[in-house]
Structure 1
């Protein structure tokens, strides 16, 4: 009943009537707080306390059950002891309540009987179509409706400003803390929910609902673990299609953090690097700190239009802070291009002792002549051609008269350059900040945070452009072989991959020394000689690889050496012989791999060969399958990619062929998701531009069910 459940979710977030199970006359208790909070707001719906022990609660008529209520009930807030929750939800179902928020604890998070109670809640939700948030959650909020369906002290006194940001948190305490920060910073909020144990409504459901919500532009999420890949991917895809900007914090990147997250949610945590790749794949900005989470969300909610590029102009009243901002811009990959020479001369003519290059230093002269503000902006935007300008004004925002004069000039600039983004960094009173924000200008206290926000806007603009470009995964060739059901040797593995469109090296599997010598003569020296055995997946560990054998004498000696090593180091291994392949003389060694993630299934990996993978873990991930554009993005994310550009006279590598190979590996893995545990193409040598690339070695590990 998908349509029924979707409608029920709308009733839960946008209710016209609310029932309160366990309603208390004491507003200090969990059962009393939500009712007390909502009574103090402008909520225009009906409120129904449910408590069979009382005829009245907090001045409102009380009911023994929801069925005793005459009118319809859209939403219920449940705050009764755990043993009584299921009965309350059954009452809701009989009343055809749209959704319930279960604040009560004592379920999967404590184990034992709690697990069984939570299983029954899930079964009820599936059977009836009623949506259930929680249990063990902090509740939900609709700011525009004045619905404070929560007991967190952060909601006391309301004080929330309607805005275009909606937040979902798997952690109740974190969600409450975020609510306090939102109030403190005066950030506009639309919807807020914490999902708790996720017996029914989970993180992905909320992201999907926000994606379809017309009053939400920015989705903020706090996630600890995901257990359903498909639902999350569908939600992120819908959000991207709807043009929503998503900013998320994913915890559990350290071993200790991952353990804490898993024990807290009783969920299976996937690899942190996989989450990182997934977020990049779907245009999600991953924040590493709480400040970053809300700085970026705030900037996205106020940005008038996406920046056209990453040219950043820096305007300042302090040379030192200008240098600080320039350093931050470099760290974030922004282009702090200097002003044109003629524009610099014009700026010097206005203020002879100014710094006109970029950062442009107006100096404290701005206080004596506020018209410098508009003049500098006009020159920077018109002649400098900057997509974004970040202006540092020190504490001007604490002087209302001066800040108002500057705002009037800024409005003229905004009207003239409607396609540009302007960010102000200054200490400001709440009143001044609101005036600037009303004009469409974001205000940051600290200048480097303003620069980081600018870089985030550029990244969103790039991701949006990438999403609009067609990036369908390439089709598998008609003759593609299925994934193996048993272990393969190297040659067999490469045969399977070659059928999927991945280029592999010419090679011969020789069963005898004479056969190897004949093959080497046909292929041409120098050659590589490698042990072929399904029992030795990592040949280098037994000394099973010899390179650059120059002639037949070296080849025959090499054959005997390999056979002796295997006999000594892997005496029980089954041998198919040895692989003879020509040496690839030029190219950059890379690694293309696939690992089966417990949550997301086949995940494709890319990295540069050698120490970049082993020592620095310099790799990028994507959830399979992907298209060539996403594969190119993976290449760009790897720090060692500079090796592909051509160094010390070497030609640039064929990145197009590399991206196509990555995409094809991802498609093969996705098509055979149920049968593959991992794929390792190491190395995949990328030849000079226009010459393609070639897999020199490969390993496919079948999945054992």
Structure 2
């Protein structure tokens, strides 16, 4: 059992998103295991709250002391003068269980359990963790942890946390919330933010997540008025539906979620049985769920902080375009390269506007990037005039100004601020970003004026692009309903290809015309009826990847070739899989002029059935150019998936080749998603590979189908 999974013995989790008000904004807090030493685990929370000016009541509990850090101390939970709203449990082993039970009986609503030695250690620890959670649930009390570093709420000075990071300074006022499974990494994020002078409203670390988990914290921050931006650090997802609901709640509140997830692990076991499963690692599915809800994934700590910092301006440009003003042509090229890598559009300035800028400064480069040259040293009005023209006539939603050292020079910075401020006052809806090298005091001045400030222009471009992607997510309209698909009962065991295609046909998913044949003569008759040439394949529920054993023969053009292929297929199957059940040979019409695609279903342990789409053949085997989406979904989502792959031009039409029947593909993918959602967990996976997408208006047909079913019972 992992440290993030609750044991079955703890009982069911309470339904619905929890109210964490008592946990994060309490009026009183007990410290069970309080220490007079402000450097010990039981002493740090008290010292930090005294230093931070916590407005509530701090109630130390320690049977060996009457006073702790200047506060009255109580011998036991029962001796407390009131039932605390929340308690910190910083005592070992059995004493922690007793403390939770005592607190619950007193009416405490939440506990933060620092104590370690539970499910993160071994099976005995997991059983002890179950007992801890069961004790809390008997009293309707919620637990954070165990094995938890704690949390803080900057606005109220509430610091039930034992990190050493606060020795370097308390968090600055701000609107960023941090939700982290890891205590050490969560406090690392806070420290990096503080050292960059970025304010953080709150941090909640979830530890073993025996009760409250990361999804609960994100959902709470989505409702909390003190948080406008959410940074999340995840090691895994326990409840996929709850996590998705939390992301949806954040998007509904227009609060961006920027997540970092570690553990790029592939799904084990069944991965060897399915193309879809082998590609749909936990990591790829996590990305798909974030994208579904308009959340972003950061690749590095630096990127996570940069994007959250940019989001504090709360300007999320839809249809984002970047206009660049620079005093360096070289920097302009670097920024253009970074924008292209990010997929951020940098349209050229209108020709008439370019002419007007050249009239102001004949040797300027006015296309975009717009280079006002070092002449800005002599005439700071160029900064304002060029920037105004870019916004008013270029229409850019985001502006990046590269002023390097002159932006920090005492002789020039005041004039630059004056010129830029006059322009931005007329365009408050534009995202304004500066790349300057300046003292911390000068940077704070620019930030107070409303600018984002970066030293590295490439990092600035990544953050600007992220704001546009967030804007697109917030602006997304309602999705179409999934199609109506009749429930299709699953067989008791994994079916053969022919049986699988009959199952799919019942859900409205078309296959290439074909016949199952039990003799060479039947194969010849089928081929004549279907029309030469045909494809012949071994038919067995035990041979899923037929090409790997030579179990597929293409281009069978006449009766003699059909008889030969039939015999060869049986011989190859007998040699490669002597114990396999053989149901004969499948004879199918050989389609020409289409694009090979792959459609699949994978059962993710956290998020349930997930659909995959990509190009077939080498594209899926080598390039892994695929997209994922949780099931079910409608045809609009399916078409967006199809158009999202890198190889989409092969389907939309390229180099004189007409488009494929994308609507037919979208109908098939949407119906497959509904079939998977209705089938339940006994459906282990589906691979339709290849699906032949014929030219527009001619349909899409599954040429091969593998439906993997967990045996009944």
Structure 2 SS opposite 1:149: coil
Q: Distance in 1 between matches of 2:258 and 2:432?
A: 21
For residues 448-494 of structure 1, the C-alpha deviation after alignment (integer angstroms, 9 at most, x for no partner) is 1110011111111222233x232332221x3x422222221212111
Structure 2 SS opposite 1:534: coil
Structure 2 SS opposite 1:191: strand
Is 1:324–2:309 an aligned residue pair? no
More off after superposition, 363-372 vs 167-176: 363-372
State the partner residue of 1:339.
349
Q: Distance in 2 between matches of 1:153 and 1:522?
A: 78
Q: Can you give the 5+ residue segments of structure 1 that lack an aligned partner in the other structure?
A: 257-268
**Of 325, 329, 353, which aligns to 1:315?**
325
Is 1:155–2:166 an aligned residue pair? yes
Q: Distance in 2 between matches of 1:538 and 1:530?
A: 11
**Of 345, 361, 366, which aligns to 1:356?**
366
Residues 582, 112 of structure 1: alpha-carbon distance in 2 compared, 3 angstrom cutoff: closer
Q: Distance in 2 between matches of 1:319 and 1:203?
A: 46
Is 1:701–2:708 an aligned residue pair? yes
State the partner residue of 1:660.
667
For residues 633-675 of structure 1, the C-alpha deviation after alignment (integer angstroms, 9 at most, x for no partner) is 4334432333223233211222232233222212111111222
State the partner residue of 1:403.
413
State the partner residue of 1:266.
none
**Of 433, 437, 447, which aligns to 1:423?**
433
State the partner residue of 2:148.
137
8 Å CA contact 2:349–2:366 kept in 1: the answer is yes
- State the Cα distance separating 1:33 from its structure 2 match: 0.9
State the partner residue of 1:643.
650
Is 1:61–2:68 an aligned residue pair? no
State the partner residue of 2:157.
146
Q: Distance in 2 between matches of 1:689 and 1:442?
A: 47
8 Å CA contact 1:302–1:437 kept in 2: the answer is no
Q: Distance in 2 between matches of 1:227 and 1:4?
A: 15
Q: Distance in 2 between matches of 1:577 and 1:696?
A: 17
8 Å CA contact 2:31–2:60 kept in 1: the answer is yes
Q: Distance in 2 between matches of 1:319 and 1:572?
A: 70
State the partner residue of 1:263.
none
8 Å CA contact 1:101–1:134 kept in 2: the answer is yes
**Of 282, 298, 305, which aligns to 1:271?**
282
**Of 207, 214, 217, which aligns to 2:225?**
214
For residues 420-467 of structure 1, the C-alpha deviation after alignment (integer angstroms, 9 at most, x for no partner) is 22211212333333333333321112111110011111111222233x
State the partner residue of 2:272.
none
Q: Distance in 2 between matches of 1:535 and 1:225?
A: 33
Q: Distance in 1 between matches of 2:636 and 2:308?
A: 26
Alignment of 1:32-431 (within 5 A): 32-111=43-122, 113-156=124-167, 158-253=169-264, 271-304=282-315, 306-400=316-410, 402-431=412-441
**Of 686, 695, 698, which aligns to 1:679?**
686
8 Å CA contact 1:283–1:464 kept in 2: the answer is yes
Residues 687, 356 of structure 1: alpha-carbon distance in 2 compared, 3 angstrom cutoff: same
Structure 1 SS opposite 2:112: strand
Please, what TM-score do these two structures have when normalized by structure 2? 0.92
8 Å CA contact 2:266–2:282 kept in 1: the answer is no
Residues 629, 409 of structure 1: alpha-carbon distance in 2 compared, 3 angstrom cutoff: farther
Residues 109, 410 of structure 1: alpha-carbon distance in 2 compared, 3 angstrom cutoff: same
Is 1:475–2:484 an aligned residue pair? yes
**Of 492, 504, 520, which aligns to 1:485?**
492
State the partner residue of 1:20.
31
More off after superposition, 440-449 vs 633-642: 633-642
For residues 234-291 of structure 1, the C-alpha deviation after alignment (integer angstroms, 9 at most, x for no partner) is 21222222222110000011689xxxxxxxxxxxx97222212222222221111000
8 Å CA contact 1:8–1:130 kept in 2: the answer is no
Please, what TM-score do these two structures have when normalized by structure 1? 0.93
Q: Distance in 2 between matches of 1:447 and 1:123?
A: 52
Residues 630, 215 of structure 1: alpha-carbon distance in 2 compared, 3 angstrom cutoff: farther
Q: Distance in 1 between matches of 2:665 and 2:344?
A: 27
For residues 301-356 of structure 1, the C-alpha deviation after alignment (integer angstroms, 9 at most, x for no partner) is 2133x212132111111111111110000001111111122111111222222211
**Of 489, 504, 525, which aligns to 1:518?**
525
- State the Cα distance separating 1:158 from its structure 2 match: 4.0
8 Å CA contact 2:530–2:588 kept in 1: the answer is yes
Structure 2 SS opposite 1:150: coil
- State the Cα distance separating 1:220 from its structure 2 match: 0.7
Q: Can you give the 5+ residue segments of structure 2 that lack an aligned partner in the other structure?
A: 1-11, 268-279
For residues 403-432 of structure 1, the C-alpha deviation after alignment (integer angstroms, 9 at most, x for no partner) is 333233333322322332221121233333
8 Å CA contact 2:325–2:370 kept in 1: the answer is yes
Q: Distance in 2 between matches of 1:179 and 1:271?
A: 27
Structure 2 SS opposite 1:67: coil
Is 1:601–2:608 an aligned residue pair? yes
- State the Cα distance separating 1:48 from its structure 2 match: 1.2
Structure 1 SS opposite 2:52: coil
Structure 2 SS opposite 1:573: coil
More off after superposition, 445-454 vs 517-526: 517-526
Q: Give RMSD over aligned pairs.
A: 2.2
Structure 1 SS opposite 2:542: coil
Q: Distance in 2 between matches of 1:327 and 1:698?
A: 43
Alignment of 1:486-565 (within 5 A): 486-565=493-572
- Number of aligned positions between the proteins: 689
Structure 2 SS opposite 1:156: helix
8 Å CA contact 1:207–1:236 kept in 2: the answer is yes
Structure 2 SS opposite 1:578: strand
8 Å CA contact 2:105–2:139 kept in 1: the answer is no
**Of 582, 587, 597, which aligns to 2:594?**
587
State the partner residue of 1:455.
465
For residues 173-220 of structure 1, the C-alpha deviation after alignment (integer angstroms, 9 at most, x for no partner) is 111111111110111211201111112111111011111112222111
8 Å CA contact 1:33–1:150 kept in 2: the answer is yes
